[in-house]
Structure 1
Amino acid sequence: MNARLSPFFTVFATVAAGTAMASNYLLQPVLPAVADTLGIDVSSAGLIAASTQIGYMLGILLIVPLGDVFDKRTQIIWQFLILGAAIWLAALCTSPALFFLACIVIGMMATNAIQLNALGFQLSEKGSTVGTITMGISAGILLARFVGGAIAQARGWQHMLMCTAVLMLTLAVAGGVAMPSSPPRGKTAYRQVLASLPGLLGRYALLRESVMVGGAWFFVFSMLWVALMLHLQAAPINLDPTATGLFGLAGLAGLLMARYAGALADQIGSRAVITLGLLLVLGGVAILYLFPHSISGLVIGVVLFDLGCFSAQVANQTRALRLEPNLRSSLFAVYMFCYYAAGALGSLSAGYIYQQSGWRGICISAFIVTAMGLAITWKNNKNTSLNIQTVK
């Protein structure tokens, strides 16, 4: 075993990446309560979810590439410190403008989850390693809704954010012990790294495919989860925030599958795993459409949906990281910027589509966009290998 890839690091990276990512989703189960506190319309609640995703996009574009310039350990620690401060500020906000600004900073600093994943991949290039840390990220996304909803219902959403801020500061301290030093392999200026990002899409055909396919399912994932939080608290279901957050646990099957999806992609190829994942997403969306007011039907649909999304994500992400060993943070930046741009559009559109067309309108939109991602995958399936191609 590589001495630098200790079990302690893997455990820390998995937990820390998941906790950082969770900060983007903690408020989803209490969107109506936050909207009421800030004095904004519930139909605009998607803006709350979208603000952290917009911040995440900016962080991907401006902060993640720093991993190719500076020591990743130092960068991750500083991001946890700033993340904790931004979450505390959000808890104190009563002004919508200041709150949205704090959420944008939260999203930017939550990109340390990407740096942790890139650091893990640098220490071990196996798909299973990426899958393990991705499993932590998936857990953060899923458990955030339950934990956020439960604490917010018991003590208020502001108190929930304060507890989270303290946790982020604790992870900053722990990271100094758990993470190995990771200086950049080359001496590339930050400005040069940023200038190179657009060219990566033109250079790698596989990266373009990964961006389009990943963007399709993350648009669907973000749209559906924001709409689901609204749908579950509306008539005739009328669940409280804690019960709404419990739906996050319905996606645990996808979480448990994440690590195995990476190993499976190593064996049978990424496109095969992505295809299987998207087919599961379509099946889950179909069930969600057919049983809009059945708790058991919604649970089954969410299980299949999340299982497909997380499985496809691991395979898609692993193949993108293999393209250029010396530019992994930059590749992550391009891939995840496009990925979260699609997610932000999904969150922004959720409230409007749900208000105009209801839950079934959400499901129809999800089915169409997922089918587009599947069509792109099938079209490129004639390249039977992982085709790490450079466009001349």
Structure 2
Amino acid sequence: MRNLLWFFVPIMPTTNTNHPQLTPLTLWVITIATGLIVANLYYNQPLLSEISKTFNVSEDKAGLISMLTQMGYAAGMLFLAPLADRMKRKRLMMIDFAFILISLVAAGFAPNINILIEASFFIGASSMIPQLLVPMAAHLATPNTRGKVVGQVMSGLLIGILLSRTLSGFIGEHFGWRAMFLIAAALMLVTWIFLFLLLPEVEPEYSGNYGSLMRSMVDLFKNEPKLRLAAFRGAFVFACFGAFWTTLTFLLKEPQFNTGSQTAGLFGLVGVAGALGASLMGRVSDKTDPYYVTTATIAAVILAYVVFYFSGSSLVGLVIGVILLDMGVQGTHISNQTTVLALHPEARNRLNTVYMVTYFIGGAIGTYLASHFWAAYKWPGVCIIGLLLSCIALAGHLLCKKIAMAKG
């Protein structure tokens, strides 16, 4: 009985009686929902080859589906996520779920590639809810557990990203790519119900209008050098992530592998090793200066692309590279978010919005560049792009050491 009660009581007491308290149940609900919702952004990646065949379009054209999904996610975060600082967060999520369902069903029944691309943009825009849940978890957590809590939620997010490809590859191989979008819609309906029943409401702390809310993000970006640095690092590192995962399915279709979308999806299982390290990264960020953590994680991304370059015909090499890449990207992301979300408690959604919009713009650019370099230079071109982007991220990080290590 004591263990059962512990599951429902706060992880740590808070002094603000109007502040909802974070219980283990609440944390697990947020973690699982984050993983399920973010998966919507990545179901399409193992399916791009099949989609290109269905509509008889080039792989370059099919790559727009992945790019527009990420651009939609950035747009949703930019224009919708800041609203969580001025309106009830749970209510905002409940309304947004209706648009997720409509977009997924539209994608599943898309009659041509252009409709699918448009639906994909709206899937991305409406699936921005994880970027409300992460600041909510940070808001409910106590300062000395914030890194750990963010790390757990981000573990759920990364597992959702990676296993989405595994599920999508299996469904695409056996039931067709359309089935995946319709199954995703059913999963979102179930998630909607659980969040409605179990998620606490968080009252807003910002009283200004929408225009001043949006302008305040510009001020935050101007006045917070740590935010600018985190956004820079995040954008370039996530560009490396998008470049690899978007083109992996094309590589595995090449004669040296000659495998289907299911094999591409199985690489998601390999990447779970990175997700399991996310909670550890959060704990390390609580106890160590994030600068040193981030130096090591960006270096892991660079090493991953060196491995990829020499693994154009080796599944073992690709597996090793995936583990390095996902641990590096996720570790950098956790370190960045822990830093950003500690800056201004009353503006966590706006801080997170600035960071995550930049992050996903970087991912979209990486996807775009990789698609074009694949068309022109195949796998070596993709690896060169990844190396260039990751080296820029490390150089910027090292040059801004004083900013990164500044207190406050």
Give the TM bin, normalised by the shorter chain: over 0.9
Query: Who is 1:217 aligned against?
Result: 237
Could you tell me which residue of structure 2 aligns to residue 23 of structure 1? 40
Q: Which deviates further from its counterpart, 21-30 or 78-87?
A: 78-87
Q: Percent identity?
A: 29
Is the 1:18–1:140 Cα contact (8 Å) retained in structure 2? yes
Tell me the distance in 1 between the aligned counterparts of 2:330 and 2:243. 16
- The normalised TM-score by structure 1 is 0.96
**CA drift at 1:386:** 4.6
4+ residue runs over 4 A deviation: none
Amino acid paired to 1:60: M
The alpha-carbon deviation at position 97 of structure 1 amounts to 2.5
Q: Are the equivalent residues in 1 in contact too, given 2:226–2:404 (CA < 8 A)?
A: no
Match of 2:307 in 1: 287
Aligned to 2:218: 198
Q: Tell me whether 140-149 or 371-380 shows the greater mean CA deviation.
A: 371-380
| The one of 285, 298, 319 aligned to 1:265 | 285
Paired residues of 2:229 and 2:404 also in contact (CA < 8 A): no
SS at structure 2 position matched to 1:111:
coil
Deviation sequence 1:227-250 (CA, Å, 0-9, x none): 112111222211111111101111
Contact in 2 for aligned 1:4/1:123 (Cα 8 Å)? yes
Which of residues 228, 252, 261 in structure 2 aligns to 1:232? Answer: 252
Query: Structure 2: how far apart are the matches of 1:293 and 1:247?
Result: 15
Residue from 95, 112, 117 that aligns with 2:129: 112
The aligned residue for residue 276 of structure 2 is: 256
SS of match in other structure, 1:45: helix
Within the alignment, does 1:246 sit opposite 2:263 as a pair? no
* Aligned partner of 1:356 among 362, 376, 379: 376
CA distance in 1, matches of 2:228, 2:164: 31
Report the equivalent of 1:323: 343
Instruction: Verify: 1:145 aligned to 2:183, yes or no.
Output: no
Show CA shifts across 1:130-179 (max 9, x none). Answer: 11111111011100111011012111111121111011011111101211
Taking the aligned partners of 1:237 and 1:367, their CA distance within structure 2 comes to: 23
Match runs of 1:1-392 below 5 Å:
1-2=12-13, 4-124=21-141, 125=143, 126-383=146-403, 385-388=405-408
Secondary structure of the corresponding residue to residue 394 of structure 2: helix
How far apart, CA to CA, are the structure 2 residues paired with 1:233 and 1:139?
25
Unaligned 5+ runs, structure 1: none
Q: Following the alignment from structure 1 to structure 2, what is the Cα–Cα distance between the partners of residues 147 and 58?
A: 26
What is the Cα deviation at residue 203 of structure 1?
A: 0.8
Shift of 1:373: 0.8
Whole-Å separation in 2 of the counterparts to 1:38 and 1:133: 37
Q: TM-score normalized by structure 2?
A: 0.92
Residue 323 of structure 2 aligns with an amino acid whose one-letter code is: V
| SS of 1:88 mapped into structure 2 | helix
Q: Is the 8 A contact 1:321 1:332 kept in 2?
A: yes
Change (3 A) 1:41 1:214: same
Is the 8 Å Cα contact of residues 25 and 145 (structure 1) preserved in structure 2?
yes
Unaligned runs of 5+ in 2: 1-11, 14-19
Q: 1:384 to 1:228 in 2, by over 3 A?
A: closer
SS of residue paired to 1:181: coil
- Structure 2: which amino acid aligns with 1:185? E
Contact in 2 for aligned 1:45/1:351 (Cα 8 Å): no
Residue identity opposite 1:285 in structure 2:
Y
Query: Aligned AA for 1:284?
Result: A
